[in-house]
Amino acid sequence: MLESGCKAVKEGVLEKRSDGLLQLWKKKRCILTEEGLLLIPPKQPPPPQQQQQQPAPAEPAAKIKELHFSNMKTVDCVERKGKYVYFTVVMAEGKEIDFRCAQEQGWNAAITLQMVQYKNRQAILAVRSTRQKQQHLAQPHHGPR
């Protein structure tokens, strides 16, 4: 179970293209849940010289980035090239995040499936809520006689 209370559906490593000028591929530890995708930077050991001179300061909590399905529009499979499948997660505000993984890992399919299931659950909840409101309004009000 994660802090958010969602259980992990899939865990592993994905490569994310950086936003910088060079657009390098950076490995991210990823946890797919029923609510979204968590991106966790891999832990990097401090350089050897730093270890000898002084104890390294306590490492700040890893910058965990959550791509929540409520903010996700689509997962586009861009191409399969060599051993990789390249895909793009398109967010509601139009931001595009590029990923790649080994074809056999099937991350793009797993993310798409979880996103569709999440959107379906939200739609069902919305319909139930609307029906409850309609039933409440349709009930006759028994006033004093």
Cα separation, 12 vs 31, in Å, equals 7
pLDDT tens, position by position, 96-145: 999 999 989 999 999 999 999 999 999 999 999 888 888 888 877 665 65
Q: CB within 8 A of 121, min separation 6: which ones?
A: none
Cα separation, 112 vs 118, in Å, equals 10
Q: What pTM value is reported for the model?
A: 0.75
Cα separation, 22 vs 44, in Å, equals 21
CB atoms within 10 A of CB 115: 21
Domains and CATH numbers, the chain: 8-42+62-137 (2.30.29.30)
**Nearest CA-CA partner of 87 in 99, 73, 103, 95:** 99
pLDDT at 55: 44
How confident is the prediction for the chain on average, in pLDDT? 83
**Residue 43 CA: distances (Å) to CA of 28, 53, 60, 68, 137:** 10, 21, 11, 23, 55
What are the residues facing 13 on neighbouring strands?
A: 29
pLDDT at 137: 86
pLDDT at 71 over 60: yes
Confidence of residue 57 (pLDDT cuts 50, 70, 90): very low
pLDDT at 36: 97
Q: Tell me which range, 2-16, 88-102, 122-136, is most confidently predicted by mean pLDDT.
A: 88-102
- Give the rounded percent of residues in the chain with a pLDDT score beyond 70: 80
Containing H/E element for 83? none
pLDDT at 7 over 70: yes
Torsion angles phi and psi, residue 26, rounded to 5: -115, 135
